[in-house]
Amino acid sequence: MQRDIEKHEWLLRRNCSLTPRQTVAAYGALCGLSLGVALVFLLLGVWQVLVFTGIELAAVTLAFVLYARHAADYEHIVLTAGCLLVERVSAGRASQTVLEPYFTRVARPESPRGLVLLEAKGTTLEVGGFAPDAQRRRLADELQQALRDQKR
């Protein structure tokens, strides 16, 4: 008698506090305010403030671009009969790793900032980078239990 094995999924996303619209609004407000102050000083004859404002806005632009590139990062873990799939998206680049559930060992994080370690047949993978410590530990426990259930 064959038993149906259910599908288990975990989705770990980066916690972004601003929506894309709010990010653009914050960036626009910051640039507008900085340029407004620089223009006032420029009208008073202090042109050096405009130079430093340009440097400041270049740094702020770089920070916002890096934030936006990683805002949609995630890890998707899917366990089905005979397959443990880990899909990662970082800065728009996707990667997938397939592990055999029967040979997969799960190691809980050893430190508060540690990640969940998955090992199977020479392949080692760390997951849980977008989750807080308690959620990473819960992920490790749930993965261990789901893998144990599949082996029965």
Q: Both 87 and 131 in a single domain?
A: yes
Q: Both 113 and 144 in a single domain?
A: yes
The pLDDT tens digits of the residues spanning 101-138 come to 999 999 999 888 899 999 999 999 999 998 999 999 99
Q: Both 139 and 84 in a single domain?
A: yes
CB-based contact 97:85 (threshold 8 Å): yes
Interior angle at CA 145, CA 142 and CA 146, nearest 5: 85
The pLDDT tens digits of the residues spanning 9-20 come to 999 998 888 888
Q: Both 97 and 133 in a single domain?
A: yes
Q: Both 66 and 76 in a single domain?
A: no
Confidence (pTM): 0.77
CATH assignment of the domain containing 97: 2.30.29
| DSSP 3-state percent helix, strand, coil across the chain (nearest 5) | 45, 25, 30
